[in-house]
Structure 1
Amino acid sequence: MKGISHWIDKRAFITPERQALIDADRELTYLEMSKMVHHFAGVLQSKYSIKKGDRVGVLAKNSMEFIITLFSLAKLNAVVVPLNIRLTVDELQFQLKDSGLQTLIVDRDNYNRGKELLEKTHFQHLLTFESLSKAETETLTLTEIDPTAPYIICYTSGTTGKPKGAVLTQENMFWNAVNNTLSLDITSKDKIITLLPLFHIGGIGLFTLPVLLAGGTVVVPDRFDPELALNYIEKYAVTIVMGVPTIHDALRKSPNFESTNLSSVRFFYNGGAPCPEELIRWYLLKGINFGQGYGLTETSPTVFLLSEEDYERKVGSIGKPVMFTDIRIVDKEVQDVSPGEFGELLVKGPNVIKEYYNLPEETNKAFLQGWFATGDIVRQDEEGFVYIAGRKKEMIISGGENIYPLEVEKVIYELPEVDEVAVIGISHEKWGETPLAFIVLKYGANISEEVLNEYCTRKLARYKVPSAFHIVSALPKNATGKIDKGTLKKYYVKEVMK
């Protein structure tokens, strides 16, 4: 198998004038992109001695150059360490030291932080996209690519402790691209707008790389702004809009949404966190295709996708496993459960990591009988469609009964006054744990705790009804837009209980 940079070179030969990348004021054809990839790779190899296995960090906003760098380092069989630009310098230090990177590439906006990191961690080279672009072209000595060697060290969010570096290979990324391309019928006519950050596996794998494998076009805003995104969708006739729930919610709330021409869009797609059914139905009622899937950093990321013919029929489902990925749903004894029963999701396939970087014990814990244990509780219906119940670690055990926060959240989301909700478990003297709900109301809305309690009591078993409902102005979120329940628990202990 050839490396992923081969895709760009081959596309440059087959369709040299086709658009590959678009940003605010620039467009690159596949031929231009291929030349730029070779240029970056040549400079990194000749001037900075980057070779197979060398770890190179990227601290930057989304841009053409970020994507160029991904393919340039793939061509050198080097290892990309994408760094979250929303982290503090202190938080970033851990990832720099843990990965052992010696080169850091930054954009202009992150140069000062790069300098501060250089002073504190003493790596060898601090480079900028600009310096790489302007450097004299160097001769690139091509080496044989090992697609099974480490390619990306992508750090998990670390909500349960220190972040773990998931080691992804070019082979992993290839199979993820194939899985997505086949499942969603992605072709060279598709244009995706990359709204997820490229420092996250979702930004890379959903669906930036799959679209480039297919010979399509990637539109790259440097940030997520609803008005800017809608402008680009119309201006460039985008066909695929991928996002997390907060992105899709922000788009529909934009004052420009109704006036934006969305006729080019094949579908909006959700991942990263379960999408409230109300939000999905809102898009469907507008006549807009809206599907969702499921994935993890450790699976490159796609595991499930919902097909277009099932968007309306199976609202709330994450679909079925993609073509070259297998799943099991098991109980505590690692025995397969029957349809309709809850169990932990296990995954196996060529898109799944083999290790966490320098963490052999964590790696061993992550696998059960050769299957990657996701830590997510799901159920599968009689037709094979899967639904997420929640994280295993987030499951609340109250008086011996299992409570899945997502089930409670779905009920609360049914109320028209509710904009966002998160349910967590807190200690309870009698029951062991009890559910607690934090709710953000829609602008101008008002609802009492009595009404919330009454509604939940009608819809849920008594033990599942939250013991308290806290109306808050906002919910904490991590860099990918997921609600951060770890921070929410800390807030509860610090603010609510005092």
Structure 2
Amino acid sequence: MVTNFQDRALFRERGWWRDATFLDDLDRWARDTPDRTAVVSRFWETGDGPDVTLSYAGLADAARRCASGLVALGVGPGDRVAMQVVNQWQATVLALGCASAGAVVVPYFIATGAADTEWILRESGACAVVSLGTVRGLEVAAAIAGMRERLPGLRHQIVVGDEVPEGAVGFESLLSAPAVDLGDRRPAGDDVFQIMYTSGTTGRPKGVRHSFNTLYAMSRSYTDPLGLGPDDVLSTPCIIGGQGGWLYGLLSPLLVGAASVWSDAYRPADFLDLAERYGITAAYFTPAVLDQLVEEQRERPRRHALRHMVTGSTPIPPGLPGRFYATFGLPVRSLWGMTENGGVTISGADDPVDWAAHSDGRPVEWMQMRLVGEDGAEVADGEPGRLEVRGANLCLGYEGADEVFAAALHDGWFVTGDLARRDGRGGLKIIGRTKDMINKGGLHVPAVAVEEILRADPRVAEVAVVGEPEPLLGETVVAVVVPHGEPPALEDLQRLVREARMTPGYEPDRLEVVAELPKTPTGKVRKRALEEDLAARKAAAGPR
């Protein structure tokens, strides 16, 4: 039988969506296992003192008190409350407090600049914003205070910590407000819970709307394949301003009654210390960070209880899964997803140890994928195609820009913007972006596929392959490399591409060596910034 992955009634029938919400999960664990640890919060940057630990009963109480404080400020059902914080217990309490008050949470990254912050607060219609004071050299609260007069809809500024600007209130004051009856504010599964603003590599970020149900399906895309439960301890350094932090550090633990270990800053040694102390069993990391863990563990081994390590967001270098397995004794599992749909694919426990470098996994039961060509028809096995997905994870649309979301749909399928090929085991491998193609005299060079080859050179720490303007060809291929020690020669990189039997012309025409690559807060390389810099320098140099 062909399943209609656009039928929301079917989502409920199959149990992929539900009438309950994460608040019901919280109430369940607080009632049945009140003393079980829900959240552990370690402070390196934003505070001092011992770790903060909240039981499930304590978390439920703090969320109710936070909700009462928001209601006292006049926050009502459907109101938007923005949050610009890091991974700390206050983030968990705030998210659940907003839900209890019927409000919608608007998370964004701590490093978001003032101009984009003002745009997000205006576009989302936020009536309140909760932020840190100062962190990592950023005057977060002061910047927001300076824009409030231009944001008449922003009625309240709430600050975590001691640096509270004039006209703002401290987060702790929310927790001391008189209790109110929250019964009539209780949201339902189809209500909007989150508007997550994407980091955006070009243009303004988009506000991606998610309901409790889409987030429920997204969380299960992590907990179900891993078989997570109340005995697990989950952690991720992915920041709460992005979907990785929300799903793998906040919602997934709550869904299964597990503990979540937060840390307001990431350092590999600190994570391994936390893993040893609190018995972390499952974690989600980006690939670059995994190599840091490998180096740290080899230098100073710790005991650990890790059973699952999942990675994604950026390409997985060849050899990384093997290095991790040799060091920690467990395989790396790859995951692919987006802000719009969370984790869609994940590799399996039965896959080879090094499979994460070759595949981004198979789709979960409630998501469907297809690869299509320029004519919209599905491509044959072995052929690259445009990745389209649909199913219970998919977001509800873009805040204030539903026409943009509608344009991203093709016959009911969401056009991801990724190029992929089938992996031969029922899954896929992302090989590039549809917008990440370099047009070299009519030859379309898939930048990510070339990057995969170049990473095999041990002298390449990081690489981005981008196009540079060229009068005759339109673009030429430039490999922008952060070297590991002595940089490689251009001829070495060209030889790697030829030996990989890639299409002639895919090899880089020029090598650019840099100290670092510009990145978004999620670690994605800002290729548009590289391309603009190359184009500007080319124009300044004039014709040759």
* Structure 1 length-normalised TM: 0.94
* Preserved contact between residue 193 and residue 238 of structure 1 (Cα < 8 Å): yes
For the residues of structure 2 that align with 1:204 and 1:311, how far apart are their CA atoms?
A: 29
Divergent runs of 4+, >4 A: none
For the residues of structure 2 that align with 1:30 and 1:260, how far apart are their CA atoms?
A: 32
* Preserved contact between residue 358 and residue 423 of structure 2 (Cα < 8 Å): no
**Residues 452, 98 of structure 1: CA spacing in aligned structure 2 closer, same or farther, 3 A cutoff?**
same
Structure 1 counterpart of 2:141, from 106, 111, 118: 111
For the residues of structure 2 that align with 1:237 and 1:360, how far apart are their CA atoms?
A: 44
Structure 2 counterpart of 1:277, from 318, 321, 342: 318
> 1:346-495 maps to which residues of 2 (within 5 A)?
346-442=388-484, 444-459=485-500, 460-495=502-537
Structure 1 counterpart of 2:52, from 9, 26, 40: 26
- Find the counterpart in structure 2 of residue 125 from structure 1: 156
For the residues of structure 1 that align with 2:385 and 2:490, how far apart are their CA atoms?
A: 33
- Find the counterpart in structure 2 of residue 303 from structure 1: 344
Structure 1 counterpart of 2:63, from 13, 37, 46: 37
* Preserved contact between residue 3 and residue 74 of structure 1 (Cα < 8 Å): no
For the residues of structure 2 that align with 1:262 and 1:488, how far apart are their CA atoms?
A: 42
* Preserved contact between residue 322 and residue 354 of structure 2 (Cα < 8 Å): no
Amino acid corresponding to residue 523 of structure 2 in structure 1:
G
Residue 67 in structure 1 maps to residue 88 in structure 2 = no
* Preserved contact between residue 439 and residue 445 of structure 2 (Cα < 8 Å): yes
User: Per the alignment, in what secondary structure is the counterpart of residue 231 of structure 1?
Assistant: helix
Compute the displacement of 1:88 (Å). 1.7
- Find the counterpart in structure 1 of residue 187 from structure 2: 145
Two-structure CA RMSD over aligned residues (Å): 1.9
Amino acid corresponding to residue 438 of structure 2 in structure 1:
I
Amino acid corresponding to residue 157 of structure 2 in structure 1:
L
- Find the counterpart in structure 2 of residue 166 from structure 1: 208
User: Per the alignment, in what secondary structure is the counterpart of residue 137 of structure 1?
Assistant: coil
User: Per the alignment, in what secondary structure is the counterpart of residue 291 of structure 1?
Assistant: strand
Deviates more, 1:444-453 or 1:369-378: 444-453
- Find the counterpart in structure 1 of residue 381 from structure 2: 339
Deviates more, 1:97-106 or 1:229-238: 229-238
**Residues 81, 265 of structure 1: CA spacing in aligned structure 2 closer, same or farther, 3 A cutoff?**
same
For the residues of structure 2 that align with 1:215 and 1:134, how far apart are their CA atoms?
A: 23
* Preserved contact between residue 183 and residue 323 of structure 1 (Cα < 8 Å): no
**Residues 88, 252 of structure 1: CA spacing in aligned structure 2 closer, same or farther, 3 A cutoff?**
same
* Preserved contact between residue 5 and residue 72 of structure 1 (Cα < 8 Å): no
Residue 241 in structure 1 maps to residue 271 in structure 2 = no
- Find the counterpart in structure 1 of residue 4 from structure 2: none
Compute the displacement of 1:262 (Å). 4.7
For the residues of structure 2 that align with 1:90 and 1:139, how far apart are their CA atoms?
A: 36
Residue 251 in structure 1 maps to residue 281 in structure 2 = no
- Find the counterpart in structure 1 of residue 5 from structure 2: none
**Residues 208, 257 of structure 1: CA spacing in aligned structure 2 closer, same or farther, 3 A cutoff?**
farther
> 1:64-103 maps to which residues of 2 (within 5 A)?
64-103=89-128
Amino acid corresponding to residue 22 of structure 1 in structure 2:
V
- Find the counterpart in structure 2 of residue 190 from structure 1: 232
User: Per the alignment, in what secondary structure is the counterpart of residue 421 of structure 1?
Assistant: strand
For the residues of structure 1 that align with 2:460 and 2:77, how far apart are their CA atoms?
A: 51
Deviates more, 1:245-254 or 1:230-239: 245-254
> Any stretches of 5+ residues in structure 2 without a counterpart?
1-18, 43-50, 135-139, 161-170
Compute the displacement of 1:437 (Å). 0.5
For the residues of structure 1 that align with 2:174 and 2:303, how far apart are their CA atoms?
A: 35
Superposed CA deviations along residues 138-194 of structure 1, whole A, max 9, x for unmatched, are 223212423222221111222221211111111111111222211111111211123
* Preserved contact between residue 291 and residue 311 of structure 1 (Cα < 8 Å): no
- Find the counterpart in structure 2 of residue 261 from structure 1: 302
**Residues 426, 23 of structure 1: CA spacing in aligned structure 2 closer, same or farther, 3 A cutoff?**
same
User: Per the alignment, in what secondary structure is the counterpart of residue 340 of structure 2?
Assistant: helix
Amino acid corresponding to residue 315 of structure 2 in structure 1:
P
For the residues of structure 2 that align with 1:311 and 1:26, how far apart are their CA atoms?
A: 39
User: Per the alignment, in what secondary structure is the counterpart of residue 487 of structure 1?
Assistant: helix
For the residues of structure 1 that align with 2:175 and 2:219, how far apart are their CA atoms?
A: 31
User: Per the alignment, in what secondary structure is the counterpart of residue 309 of structure 1?
Assistant: coil
Compute the displacement of 1:313 (Å). 5.5
Compute the displacement of 1:449 (Å). 2.3
Compute the displacement of 1:207 (Å). 4.8
For the residues of structure 2 that align with 1:415 and 1:312, how far apart are their CA atoms?
A: 21
Amino acid corresponding to residue 118 of structure 2 in structure 1:
Q
Structure 2 counterpart of 1:15, from 33, 43, 61: 33
* Preserved contact between residue 76 and residue 142 of structure 1 (Cα < 8 Å): no
For the residues of structure 2 that align with 1:262 and 1:277, how far apart are their CA atoms?
A: 26
User: Per the alignment, in what secondary structure is the counterpart of residue 234 of structure 1?
Assistant: helix
Amino acid corresponding to residue 488 of structure 1 in structure 2:
L
* Aligned-residue identity in percent: 27
Deviates more, 1:104-113 or 1:415-424: 104-113
Compute the displacement of 1:197 (Å). 0.5
Superposed CA deviations along residues 438-489 of structure 1, whole A, max 9, x for unmatched, are 11111x3343223223333333332100110111111111101111111111
Compute the displacement of 1:338 (Å). 2.0
Residue 200 in structure 1 maps to residue 242 in structure 2 = yes
Compute the displacement of 1:316 (Å). 2.2
Compute the displacement of 1:133 (Å). 5.0
- Find the counterpart in structure 2 of residue 317 from structure 1: 359
For the residues of structure 2 that align with 1:278 and 1:382, how far apart are their CA atoms?
A: 20
User: Per the alignment, in what secondary structure is the counterpart of residue 102 of structure 1?
Assistant: strand
For the residues of structure 2 that align with 1:58 and 1:248, how far apart are their CA atoms?
A: 28
* Preserved contact between residue 231 and residue 260 of structure 1 (Cα < 8 Å): no
> Any stretches of 5+ residues in structure 1 without a counterpart?
none
**Residues 160, 430 of structure 1: CA spacing in aligned structure 2 closer, same or farther, 3 A cutoff?**
same
* Preserved contact between residue 230 and residue 257 of structure 1 (Cα < 8 Å): no
**Residues 21, 354 of structure 1: CA spacing in aligned structure 2 closer, same or farther, 3 A cutoff?**
same
* Preserved contact between residue 192 and residue 208 of structure 1 (Cα < 8 Å): no
Structure 1 counterpart of 2:268, from 226, 236, 244: 226
Amino acid corresponding to residue 127 of structure 1 in structure 2:
I
Deviates more, 1:480-489 or 1:127-136: 127-136
For the residues of structure 1 that align with 2:476 and 2:426, how far apart are their CA atoms?
A: 32
